[in-house]
Amino acid sequence: METTWIVLANAARARIFESVDGRAPTEVRTLVHPGSRLKAGELAEHHAGHAERHVGVAGHGSPAYPPSSDPRDKEHQAFGRELAQVLHAAVAGAQVRRLVLSASSDFLGVLRGSLDAATTRAVTASHAADLTELPALELQQRLAALLAEAAPRGRPAA
């Protein structure tokens, strides 16, 4: 049995479809990361540009600005790591042989950067496209096309 997972993702949601021996994919898992949908201001502990007073030598305070980083980027990175762990577990446990990734362009880089070497080797195709919200009929067509692309050479998907 050869199992392929097709992963459709963006920074807030991932849908995982499974195809066994080239049969039509069925959705097996959905992951949602609500933190990625929040506005940066809702995520930040401190307002941008807010100076904190740190007591230095001899009790004198000096303003120190926290390093600038987008809290939303941190949420995207966290979700990328979470999804990568799910994929790693499936590949390492021999539950999945091939992976096809289709994610929004910014999140695809985050996800690929979070994959370990073994999981990266299982990726047979990847596309920078967010397909998470497609209507059912169009989704079926796109999944069939992605599955056909992932089929081993010389053996078409059923």
What value does the mean pLDDT take over residues 88-112? 96
- CA dihedral 34→40→41→47, nearest 10 degrees, is 140
Residue 16 lies in a domain: yes
Residue 128 lies in a domain: yes
Residue 66 lies in a domain: no
Query: Where residue 129 sits, what CATH number does that domain have?
Result: 3.30.420.60
Which tens digits make up the pLDDT trace of 9-48?
999 999 999 999 989 999 999 999 886 565 555 444 434 4
Residue 124 has pLDDT above 80, yes or no: yes
Alpha carbons within 13 angstroms on the beta-carbon side of residue 43 total 15
Residue 53 lies in a domain: no
Q: Where in the sequence is the domain holding 76, given as residue range(s)?
A: 3-39+71-150
Residue 55 lies in a domain: no
Question: What residue spans of the chain are helical by DSSP H?
Answer: 40-43, 71-92, 105-114, 117-122, 136-150
Strand partners, 3: 20
CB of 78 closer than 8 Å to CB of 35: yes
Count of domains for the chain: 1
> What pLDDT was estimated at residue 85?
97
Residue 142 lies in a domain: yes
- CA dihedral 120→123→126→132, nearest 10 degrees, is -100
Please tell me the distance from the alpha carbon of residue 148 to that of residue 157, in angstroms, as a whole number.
5
List phi, psi (to 5°) of 55: -80, 120
pTM: 0.76
Can you say whether the dihedral through the CA atoms of 77, 106, 22, 19 is positive or negative?
Answer: positive
